[in-house]
């Protein structure tokens, strides 16, 4: 059984996604990218785009789990509120698709992927590309792949702990 994980880096303007699979001693990169509703459409349309985009990925890849990067909450109330709205839509999708959802803080993700909780975004990006053997991915996709891999490591998948 090779677990497929959908990693999600939620954001109202850019939501990154990354689908990874633990296969023997390797981690396979199945898909990654970002859903980019931008800042122009009303929020409800953006949420719809994110919901539909992630729904398509679930239909296509049938992940055993969704891994979500916990949003860093020490920002202001308004941005917590906006990000909460995106996260609500991802949680709803998980529940409706009957895919269990797991949450990881940025620190835990960085520790799992880079080995160092204070790693920079570019270090995460570099490790993601090395571990998956992929070319440049955008930052939202890299963060989503990182949280997907983090879940693989944490669910004690036997291979490829960095």
Q: Which residues of 9-32 are buried (b: 16+ CB within 10 A; e: fewer)?
A: bbbbebbbbbbbbbeeeebebbeb
Q: Does 35 bind its own copies (CB under 8 A)?
A: no
Q: Which one of 36, 85, 123, 139 is in contact with its own copies (CB under 8 A)?
A: 85
Query: What is the rounded distance in angstroms from the CA atom of residue 153 to the CA atom of residue 81?
Result: 30
SS (H, E, C) 10-28: CCCCCEEEEEEEEECCEEE
Residue 16 token pair:
């990154």
Contact residue for its own copies among 27, 35, 86, 150 (CB under 8 A): 86
Q: Which of 75, 150, 67 is nearest to 110 (CA)?
A: 150
Given 24, 38, 84, 162, the residue binding its own copies (CB under 8 A): 84
Which range in 73-81, 115-123, 136-144, 149-157 contacts its own copies by CB under 8 A? 73-81
| 159 lies in the site for its own copies, by CB under 8 A | no
Site for its own copies contains 74 (CB under 8 A): yes
Q: What are the structure tokens assigned to 35, written together?
A: 């859903």
Position 8 contacts its own copies (CB under 8 A) = no
Closer by beta carbon to its own copies, 62 or else 73: 73
Which range of residues in 19-27, 32-40, 95-103, 133-141 is near its own copies by CB under 8 A?
95-103
């Amino acid at each position: 059984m090779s677990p497929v994980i959908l990693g999600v880096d939620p954001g109202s303007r850019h939501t990154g996604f990354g689908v990874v699979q633990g296969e023997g001693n390797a981690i396979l990169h199945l898909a990654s990218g970002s859903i980019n509703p931008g800042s122009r459409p009303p929020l409800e349309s953006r949420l719809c785009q994110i919901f539909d985009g992630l729904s398509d990925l679930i239909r296509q890849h049938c992940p055993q789990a969704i891994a979500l990067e916990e949003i860093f909450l020490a920002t202001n109330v308004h941005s917590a509120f906006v990000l909460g709205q995106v996260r609500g839509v991802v949680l709803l999708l998980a529940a409706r698709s009957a895919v269990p959802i797991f949450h990881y803080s940025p620190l835990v993700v960085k520790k799992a992927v880079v080995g160092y909780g204070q790693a920079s975004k570019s270090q995460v990006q570099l490790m993601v590309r090395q571990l998956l053997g992929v070319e440049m991915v955008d930052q939202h996709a890299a963060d989503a792949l990182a949280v997907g891999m983090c879940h693989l490591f944490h669910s004690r998948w036997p291979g490829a702990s960095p």
